[in-house]
Amino acid sequence: MPRPFKTEEKNLKEETETHLDSSKFNSGICGQIEKLVLCKRYREAFELFEILECEGGNDVKCTTYDALVSACIGLKSIRGVKRVFNYMLNSGFEPDLYIRNRVLLMHVKCGMMIDAHRLFDTMPERNLVSWNTIIGGLVDVGDYVEAFRLFLMMWEEFVDVGSRTFATMIRSSAGLELISPGQQLHACTLKMGLYDDIFVSCALIDMYSKCGSVEDARFVFDEMPEKTTVGWNSIIAGYALHGYSEEALNMYYEMQESGVKMDHFTFSIIIRVCTRLASLEHAKQAHAGLVRHGFGLDIVANTTLVDFYCKWGRIEDARHVFERMPKKNVVSWNALISGYGNHGRGIEAVELFERMISEGMVPNHVTFLAVLSSCSYSGLF
């Protein structure tokens, strides 16, 4: 066999070494991306991904794509989703069902439901995870009718769809405020032996409450073998929603006695109940409980407190809670601005609005209405 010339041997060796060095380099980058994502350092992971994008044509493993999907979800980055998906397509990577489901989830979690639906429709195979992902996404964005359409298609393909699917569809009934499909789903869960599932029970309590049947919601709650925080919150919120404030407060105290752990939603609900009952004493107890349980800095609960104190005319208490909040959203600012305005302190309302702007918070239509109302009520124009 004739030997190649020395120059050809040298070129072949250099190309091989370059390829090996490149493979090691890319493998190292992929490994670093995966480690960074595990540490939730998503932006740094994407900075390394840019190197792969610039070089192009690199062999990226499933584990790296899986990590990049997690990074996109963590950052809620639509641009990141498009970059990762385009790279996957252009590199000729053939994803298995697991990766296809992860890519679908990535689009759903980032709110790209049109693209997600298109991906779902073109999937060569689907499993329960695929169906639950797209249906859950549709329910989350309020497309309840399409969620029901896909659910019926899913049920034709899979007889045992599982408790999570039923819980999602019961949420869809609640969103539509239609009790009939919710009752039918409830009957199905009973036939399939899912009556003691926590997710199904909590979804049923929420659905019956939102559809105006608090008695049915209470029946489901009483039948729960294990009453969770979400279950208690759901029934308390149900009573509060329909003006049964005393019952809601009584359930709150029962929850306390049961020893079930309370969360910031529990306190937010009960503070709203106290507003309706005009009960300063109960609100103070809820405020103390909020701090005692470690939710003293929670944005939702504290905004509810600001609103409560403002409505009671205790503006200084409201301001104290507001100033202690490490993070504030537009609702927090609006609550305090409205409080100042409603009590004839228009100048302070305007000053707070100016501070809101200077701190980079973007006002909404409620903010402008609150400021205008404050000025009018205080006779500033």
In 3D space, the residue among 294, 133, 275, 139 whose CA is nearest the CA of residue 206 turns out to be 139
Q: Who contacts 35 (Cβ-Cβ below 8 Å, separation ≥6)? A: none
∠ CA 60-63-66, rounded to 5°: 100
How much is the mean pLDDT over the chain? 88
Tell me, what's the pLDDT at 257?
93
The model's confidence at residue 13, banded by pLDDT at 50, 70 and 90, is very low
For residue 378, give the 3-state DSSP assignment: coil
Residues 152, 170 within the same domain: yes
The CATH number covering residue 161 comes to: 1.25.40
In 3D space, the residue among 172, 178, 134 whose CA is nearest the CA of residue 153 turns out to be 134
The model's confidence at residue 22, banded by pLDDT at 50, 70 and 90, is low
Residues 90-102 have pLDDT tens digits of: 888 888 999 999 9
108 in any annotated domain: yes
* Nearest-angstrom CA–CA distance, 214 and 107: 36
> Containing domain of residue 86, as a range?
30-123
* Nearest-angstrom CA–CA distance, 31 and 123: 29
At residue 184, does pLDDT exceed 50? yes
Per-residue pLDDT averaged across 319-335, rounded? 94
Residues 96, 164 within the same domain: no
Per-residue pLDDT averaged across 348-359, rounded? 95
DSSP string computed for 339-351: HHHHTT-HHHHHH
Of 190, 225, 260, which closes a domain? 225
**Is residue 5 exposed (0-12), middle (13-18) or buried (19+ Cβ within 10 Å)?**
exposed
Which is more confidently placed, 162 or 148? 148
In 3D space, the residue among 94, 71, 154 whose CA is nearest the CA of residue 120 turns out to be 154
In 3D space, the residue among 161, 173, 277 whose CA is nearest the CA of residue 217 turns out to be 173
At residue 365, does pLDDT exceed 70? yes
Q: Residue 150: what residue type?
A: L
Per-residue pLDDT averaged across 218-229, rounded? 94
Range name among 22-31, 45-54, 214-223, 305-314 with the lowest pLDDT average: 22-31
Which is more confidently placed, 58 or 113? 113
275 in any annotated domain: no
Q: Residue 366: what residue type?
A: V
Per-residue pLDDT averaged across 178-191, rounded? 94
Residues 157, 214 within the same domain: yes
Residues 80, 154 within the same domain: no
What tokens appear for 254 in the block? 């029962």
Kindly state the DSSP code that residue 243 receives in the 8-state scheme.
T
At residue 130, does pLDDT exceed 90? yes
* Nearest-angstrom CA–CA distance, 265 and 300: 8
The model's confidence at residue 264, banded by pLDDT at 50, 70 and 90, is confident
Per-residue pLDDT averaged across 221-242, rounded? 94
Which is more confidently placed, 291 or 142? 142
Residues 271-317 have pLDDT tens digits of: 889 888 878 888 888 888 888 888 777 898 899 999 999 988 899 99
User: Number of folded domains in the chain?
Assistant: 3
Tell me, what's the pLDDT at 107?
93
At residue 105, does pLDDT exceed 70? yes
Tell me, what's the pLDDT at 16?
38
202 in any annotated domain: yes
Tell me, what's the pLDDT at 17?
40
Q: Who contacts 69 (Cβ-Cβ below 8 Å, separation ≥6)? A: 84, 102, 103, 105, 106
CB of 217 closer than 8 Å to CB of 209: yes
* Nearest-angstrom CA–CA distance, 164 and 166: 5
At residue 3, does pLDDT exceed 80? no
Tell me, what's the pLDDT at 114?
95
* Nearest-angstrom CA–CA distance, 367 and 284: 27
In 3D space, the residue among 106, 63, 108, 113 whose CA is nearest the CA of residue 86 turns out to be 106
87 in any annotated domain: yes
* Nearest-angstrom CA–CA distance, 362 and 376: 22
91 in any annotated domain: yes
Residues 95, 44 within the same domain: yes
352 in any annotated domain: yes
Of 166, 200, 225, which closes a domain? 225
197 in any annotated domain: yes
What tokens appear for 20 in the block? 């090996």
Of 88, 123, 158, which closes a domain? 123
6 in any annotated domain: no
